[in-house]
């Protein structure tokens, strides 16, 4: 089946970029980005001037803006960590968000064509996902693909796709221990596939090259408390991904991963990363079984309701692991309060079925 949904209009897609750098990388993306609004979340010193190439339509927010807009609720937005990007999700008014790191450039496919990552994400998210039964020819809605023999016809309609997770050539998104033992490893494998993450399976969501339906799953895309004053780093996107996937499974919404690729240019320091990650490396051995065992009640009416129920479960079941999880559960609640105040129209509806 090659049903390619109608791609969203430029005004329906905002691009959120967290940054402690300058944004020269945008020059490479200009053909693909310049019709979209950029929401730039400037982390670190708010007095630093961020150089933004001419010709882009952007909103720029620094820590002072975050505190001005959110007041006391700003405490749920991380400082000195890329997790700050979720503030951009909060203030966007677009149906879709694409978030990308400022050291990610336009990649080329094996034929040497420049990859319009945003276009591929929008194709992914504009066609259904198939979480209930794995299609061995990958995404059946991609051009030149279909459902294979034996695939139940009753399941071929699929479900609404709300997340499209892209990948990275050159510097892969490895954790610090892997970076340390494989410092020279570069990802040169271009796998031409998009697939649905099956229902009941979690996945490590990376925020480097990610698109989602903000109106539906935005409330679950809280990049957890990291960075300054927190015991953890580099688990912000992972936390958002685990919460999102549990809620998507509950609401029969779809998550796809695979194409598009971007070219990730900078390997961050593995020793710094180890200091940020190390608690997460053993905590996640308890966190993953928690998310795998979570069941959400049927009377949750919206993603916001699901998220608040999930936050309560975090508070009840993970606080013995470390008091941090009580703080994180509180921050999840604050996030939803801020979301509801700034986005009353986007509570994350149940699928209309």
Chain residues in the site for ligand L74QOO4W (CB under 6 A): 18-21, 43, 80-82, 84, 101-103, 173, 206-208, 227, 234, 236-237, 266, 268
Q: Which does 280 bind (CB under 5 to 8 A by kind): ligand L74QOO4W, Mn ion, none?
A: none
> Where in 161-200 is the site for Mn ion (CB under 5 A)?
none
Cα 211 to Cα 33: distance, rounded to the nearest angstrom? 14
Q: Which does 173 bind (CB under 5 to 8 A by kind): Mn ion, ligand L74QOO4W, none?
A: ligand L74QOO4W
Between the alpha carbon of residue 328 and those of residues 54, 233, 294, the distances in Å are 39, 13, 17
Cα 334 to Cα 74: distance, rounded to the nearest angstrom? 9
Q: Which lies closer to ligand L74QOO4W via its Cβ, residue 207 or residue 218?
A: 207
65 within 8 A of 150, measured Cβ to Cβ: no
Q: Which does 237 bind (CB under 5 to 8 A by kind): Mn ion, ligand L74QOO4W, none?
A: ligand L74QOO4W
- Least Å distance, CB 276 to ligand L74QOO4W, is 8
- Least Å distance, CB 273 to ligand L74QOO4W, is 6
- Least Å distance, CB 136 to ligand L74QOO4W, is 30
The verdict on 65 binding Mn ion (CB under 5 A) reads no
- SS3 state at 288: helix
For residue 82, which of 213, 233, 211 has the smallest C-alpha distance?
A: 233
Give the Cβ contact number of residue 317 at 10 Å. Answer: 17
Q: Which lies closer to ligand L74QOO4W via its Cβ, residue 234 or residue 250?
A: 234
**Side-chain-side CA neighbours of residue 158 (13 Å):** 26
Between the alpha carbon of residue 326 and those of residues 3, 215, 271, 313, 316, the distances in Å are 45, 27, 28, 10, 8
Q: Which does 20 bind (CB under 5 to 8 A by kind): Mn ion, ligand L74QOO4W, none?
A: ligand L74QOO4W
State in Å, rounded, how far the first CA of the chain is from the last one: 22
Stretch that binds Mn ion, among 5-13, 46-54, 259-267, 271-279 (CB under 5 A): 259-267
Q: Which lies closer to ligand L74QOO4W via its Cβ, residue 106 or residue 208?
A: 208
Burial of 67 (0-12, 13-18, 19+ CB in 10 A): middle
Instruction: Determine the size of the site formed for Mn ion (CB under 5 A).
Output: 3
124 within 8 A of 211, measured Cβ to Cβ: yes
Q: Which lies closer to ligand L74QOO4W via its Cβ, residue 266 or residue 349?
A: 266
Give the Cβ contact number of residue 146 at 10 Å. Answer: 14
Backbone angles phi, psi at 231, to 5 degrees: -80, 5
> In the structure encoding, which two tokens stand for residue 96, read together?
């879709």
> Where in 79-118 is the site for Mn ion (CB under 5 A)?
101, 103
- Least Å distance, CB 201 to ligand L74QOO4W, is 21
Q: Which lies closer to Mn ion via its Cβ, residue 139 or residue 277?
A: 277
Q: Tell me the residue number closest to ligand L74QOO4W, measured at CB.
A: 82
Q: Which lies closer to Mn ion via its Cβ, residue 15 or residue 74?
A: 15
Cα 291 to Cα 242: distance, rounded to the nearest angstrom? 7
Q: 3-state SS string over 3-25?
A: CCCCCCCHHHEEEEEEECCCCCC
Q: Which does 206 bind (CB under 5 to 8 A by kind): ligand L74QOO4W, Mn ion, none?
A: ligand L74QOO4W
Q: Which does 82 bind (CB under 5 to 8 A by kind): Mn ion, ligand L74QOO4W, none?
A: ligand L74QOO4W
What residues make contact with Mn ion under the rule CB under 5 A?
Answer: 101, 103, 266
């Amino acid at each position: 089946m090659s049903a390619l949904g109608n791609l969203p209009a430029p005004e329906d897609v905002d691009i959120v970029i967290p940054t402690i750098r300058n944004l020269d990388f945008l020059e490479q993306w200009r053909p693909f980005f310049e019709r979209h609004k950029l929401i730039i979340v400037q982390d670190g010193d708010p007095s630093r001037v961020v150089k933004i190439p001419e010709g882009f339509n952007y909103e720029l927010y620094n820590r002072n803006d975050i505190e001005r807009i959110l007041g006391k609720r700003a405490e749920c937005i991380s400082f000195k960590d890329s997790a700050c990007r979720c503030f951009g999700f909060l203030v966007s008014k677009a149906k879709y968000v694409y978030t990308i790191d400022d050291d990610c450039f336009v990649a080329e496919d094996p034929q040497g064509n420049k990859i319009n990552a945003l276009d591929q994400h929008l194709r992914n998210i504009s066609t259904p996902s198939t979480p209930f039964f794995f299609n061995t020819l990958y995404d059946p809605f991609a051009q030149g693909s279909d459902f294979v023999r034996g695939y139940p016809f009753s399941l071929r309609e699929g479900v609404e796709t709300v997340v499209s997770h892209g990948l990275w050539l050159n510097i892969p998104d490895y954790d610090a221990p892997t970076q340390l033992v494989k410092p020279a490893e570069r990802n040169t494998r271009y796998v031409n596939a998009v697939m649905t993450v099956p229902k009941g399976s979690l996945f490590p969501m990376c925020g480097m090259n990610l698109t989602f339906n903000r109106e539906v799953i935005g409330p679950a895309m809280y990049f957890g408390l990291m960075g300054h004053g927190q015991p953890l780093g580099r688990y912000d996107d992972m936390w958002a991904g685990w919460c999102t996937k549990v809620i998507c499974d509950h609401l029969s919404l779809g998550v796809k991963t695979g194409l598009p690729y971007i070219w990730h240019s900078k390997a961050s320091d593995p020793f710094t990363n180890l200091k940020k990650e190390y608690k997460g490396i053993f905590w996640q051995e308890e966190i993953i079984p928690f998310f795998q065992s979570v069941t959400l009640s049927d009377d949750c009416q919206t993603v916001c309701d699901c998220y608040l129920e999930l936050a309560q479960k975090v508070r009840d079941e993970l606080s013995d692991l470390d008091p941090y999880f009580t703080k994180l559960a509180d921050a999840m609640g604050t996030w939803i309060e801020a979301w509801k105040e700034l986005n009353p129209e986007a509570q994350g509806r149940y699928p209309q079925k």
